[in-house]
Amino acid sequence: MDSVIRVVAMYGFLLLVFRLTGKRTLGEATPFDLLLLLIISETTQQAMVDDDHSMTHAFLLILTFAVINLGLSIIKQKSPAVERVLDGVPVVIVEHGRLIKDRAKKERVDEEDVLEAARETQGLERLEQVKYAILKKDGKIAIVPEG
């Protein structure tokens, strides 16, 4: 019983923390972010495994994670409202070469981030060449070039 409850609590907590810290936490992984993710995973593992090293416990932990993920994916497919709450929504941050500053600031994205994405994905050099830049739900920036 406690195996399942531990995972449900941890899943809910991690979902809440990552949702509240914003898209860029996941999208832009600097070396320190990777280190942070390792520390988080290690702490999570300790809290869930505790001193029960049995295979049954490990199977139940994995199964519970898989079933929660599966359950939420089914719910999100049926309810776009739930999907928006759990996954967030994409945000347009550049429109016709103009950075929408208040949105970019709130999402902690700057012109340099947009230009980097524009260079990497479309080979563009200037912001004026960008029709739309969209901060996706996964924290990455999608670029639509000017016709």
**3-state SS, residue 50:** coil
- Alpha-carbon distance of 97 to 90, in angstroms, equals 18
Q: Tell which residue, 112, 121, 110, has the closest CA to residue 143.
A: 121
Q: Is residue 65 part of the contact set for other proteins (CB under 8 A)?
A: no
Q: Is residue 3 part of the contact set for other proteins (CB under 8 A)?
A: yes
Q: Is residue 75 part of the contact set for other proteins (CB under 8 A)?
A: no
Q: Is residue 81 part of the contact set for other proteins (CB under 8 A)?
A: no
User: Which residue number, 51 or 102, has a Cβ lying nearer to other proteins?
Assistant: 51
Extract the tokens encoding 65: 């994670």
User: Which residue number, 5 or 16, has a Cβ lying nearer to other proteins?
Assistant: 5
Q: Tell which residue, 40, 35, 71, 50, has the closest CA to residue 3.
A: 50
Q: Is residue 63 part of the contact set for other proteins (CB under 8 A)?
A: yes
- Amino acid identity at 81: A
Q: Is residue 29 part of the contact set for other proteins (CB under 8 A)?
A: no
Q: Is residue 47 part of the contact set for other proteins (CB under 8 A)?
A: no
- Amino acid identity at 137: K
One of 25, 28, 33, 57 touching other proteins (CB under 8 A):
57
* Residue showing tokens 């300790």: 46
Where does this chain bind other proteins (CB under 8 A)?
1-5, 51-57, 60, 63-64, 66-67, 70
